[in-house]
Amino acid sequence: MRAHVIEAGLVTNTIQVEDLSFLPNLVDADLGGVIGDAWDGKTFTTPAVVVTVPEVVSRGQAKKALVLAGVSLARVEKAIDNIPDETARALARIDWVDSREFRRDNALISSIGNSLSLSEGEIDALFLAADAL
């Protein structure tokens, strides 16, 4: 029979045994579950995957992620050009052209994203995609 090895409430391995008394902490694999699942003594559950959005991506990564997501770089530049305050517009242009990296917590990122009708979740997804490049 197949049995799951349970350590600290998690399935750490699945092995072939004659019976469940072979080792302590064995649970019949026919009850379900896979390696990595949690076992509460009655049921198996798959733990939620925690995704961490990168704090920083390079300028190249960011621009590639935008292009791959179908966001025109010209639209980003137009959004910058449409910033009403001249000083804020000039600073945004410097960031867009000269920054080596883009920080997710920079207010400009959310502002430009908002101008492009991107939600915070979509911006996070762009940072994740950029980080993978």
Residues 60 and 37 in one domain: no
Q: How far is the C-alpha of 82 from the C-alpha of 98, rounded, in Å?
A: 19
Average pLDDT (64-84) is: 94
pLDDT, one tens digit per residue, over 25-70 is 999 999 999 999 999 999 999 988 888 999 999 999 999 999 999 9
Considering only CA atoms, which of 50, 51, 67 is closest in space to residue 130? 67
Statement to judge: residues 72 and 105 lie in one domain: yes
With contact defined as beta carbons under 8 Å apart, do 57 and 121 qualify? no
pTM: 0.65
At residue 127, what is the residue type?
Answer: F
Poorest-pLDDT segment among 17-21, 76-80, 124-128: 17-21
In a domain, residue 51? The reply is no
Position 24 scores a pLDDT of: 87
The reply to whether 36 and 82 lie within a common domain is: no
CA angle 107, 113, 119 (to 5 degrees): 105
Give residue 6's pLDDT band: very low, low, confident or very high (50, 70, 90).
very high
Residues spanned by the domain of 127? 56-131
- Based on the fold, state whether residues 11 and 70 are members of the same structural domain: no
Mean pLDDT confidence for 6-13 = 93
Residue 72 sits in the same domain as residue 127:
yes
User: Nearest 5 degrees, angle CA 132-CA 95-CA 113?
Assistant: 60
The pLDDT tens digits of the residues spanning 99-127 come to: 999 999 998 899 999 999 999 999 999 99
How many domains would you assign to the chain?
Answer: 2
On whether both 64 and 35 belong to a single domain, the answer is no
Q: Flag whether 123 is in a domain.
A: yes
